[in-house]
Amino acid sequence: MKKGLILTVTAVVIVGLGIGGYTAFNRYLGNNIEIQSVTGKESTAGTAVAADKLNGKWDIASGSKVYWTVTTSKEPINFQNESVKGQWQVDLNQAAVMKGNGIVDMNGLNSGNDQRDSHVKEREDLLETNHHPEATFEAKSFSAIPKEWNEGVAIPFIVEGVLKVKGKEKNVKFESTAMYKNGQLLLSGKTKVLFSDFGMKNPQTIVLETQNELDVRLELVLNKV
């Protein structure tokens, strides 16, 4: 009886350790960050928004995030950064004169795994944030943006500009949407770049391989100045 009880307890302990070990291993190698859209559920019939509510200078505010997604042999892994600031000068009458910029403190990069984050930030062939602490984006042009907006309805457009990471510049296009909601502008945008565009090497380990391509996604909340 005692022998059977001991065997049962031992089996439970082994299974528990196995599950715990797998969970820890999965957390170390896997994705711990879920991408959250700032726009939420889109309205289909919001009230009209006057142009004077939209035109003007908008500052990136609290709640904004930039996501960097790495595709690995296991699953896509998201890094998020809430240390972002910048502006968007909106002019619905003259898209050609619109301006926008953003600055991201790369020391704020977070994948939910401190050891992995330190690895990415510190290595010379990756971000090396002690020498290159910021990534920047400077918008150069905006596609035609409709003059008529409705509350809670997403407006699609494209932003072209220069993304600078680790001192190296890359021309990119962000496929974007903007929404006016509760007095704020909500901006989502996505593009693809390569580690090699910025003089970096996609990291490889014995148990995990990563692709050269990176997804960059903006989820920004802006307040009017």
User: Please, which residues bridge with residue 206 across strands?
Assistant: none
Residue 217 to residue 80: CA distance in whole angstroms? 9
Specify the CATH number of the domain 31-224: 2.40.128.110
Residue 217 to residue 212: CA distance in whole angstroms? 17
Residue 14 to residue 22: CA distance in whole angstroms? 12
In 3-state terms, what secondary structure has residue 108? helix
Residue with tokens 């059977």: 4
Burial of 144 (0-12, 13-18, 19+ CB in 10 A): exposed
In tens digits, what is the pLDDT along the chain, a chain of 225 residues?
A: 555 555 444 444 344 434 433 344 344 579 999 999 999 877 777 899 999 999 999 999 999 999 999 999 999 999 999 999 999 999 999 888 899 999 999 999 999 999 999 999 999 999 999 999 999 999 999 998 999 999 999 999 999 999 999 999 999 999 999 999 999 999 999 999 999 999 999 988 756 799 999 999 999 999 999
Reported pTM? 0.85
Residues 6+ apart with CB under 8 A from 52: none
Alpha-carbon torsion, ordered 139, 103, 189, 175, to 10 deg = 30
Give the start-to-end residue ranges of the domains of the chain: 31-224
* Token pair of 70 as six digits: 């790495």
Residue 112 to residue 35: CA distance in whole angstroms? 13
Angstrom CA distances, 34 to 111, 143, 184, 220, stand at 10, 29, 23, 16
